[in-house]
Amino acid sequence: MAFGRFSKPASHPPISAINVTPLVDVMLVLLVIFIMAAPLLAASIRLDLPKAASATADNPPAAIAVQMNAKGELFADGKATDLAALRLLLKQQAERNPQTEVQLSIDRSLPYARAVELMDAAQSAGLTRMGFVAQPAAASPAVHGR
């Protein structure tokens, strides 16, 4: 029995440089994901949540419904009012609960300036939470008829 060594085949020397291409690929994918997800983080989405018997409403959020019809008549919680009285009502509500939400329902035929006027009245009173009430759009028959 011979105790010899096998001849070592000629091999390439080891590469001492790190391959960063996969790292760059992963980082670019993460960058694209964050760029696409950033606008979603800033926007708030209102949800109609299901009801549960175990859910408790300890402090239901306070809200004031402000409506303006096509004639420009102003209503606060269903009662006719004017802008000065509305400002006073909003200021009183802001003193009681600054987290009160102002729910604006404005006729679509009115100019945008009227909506800004109501938003300014709420913000001047110290209320910053606002919701915009809209009618649900009717479903298009072409979408459901496929």
Q: pLDDT of 27-62, one tens digit each?
A: 999 999 999 888 777 655 555 555 656 555 555 567
Please report whether residue 110 resides in a domain: yes
Structure tokens at 80: 């006719």
Distance CA 128, CA 122 (A): 7
Contact between residue 110 and residue 70 where contact means Cβ atoms under 8 Å apart: yes
Per the structure block, which two tokens stand in for 131? 């919701």
pLDDT for res 38: 82
- Relative to beta strand 74-76, strand 79-81 is antiparallel
Domain count, the chain: 1
Domain for residue 18, yes or no? no
Q: Does 125 fall in a domain?
A: yes
- The two tokens of residue 71 are 């004639």
Q: Spell 93-103 as b/e; 16+ CB within 10 A means b.
A: bbeeeeebbbe
* CATH number, position 119: 3.30.420.270
Spans in the chain with pLDDT lower than 70: 1-6, 8-10, 42-61, 136-146
Q: How many residues does the chain have?
A: 146
Q: For residue 90, what are the domain limits?
A: 63-132
In angstroms, how far is the first alpha carbon of the chain from the final one? 83
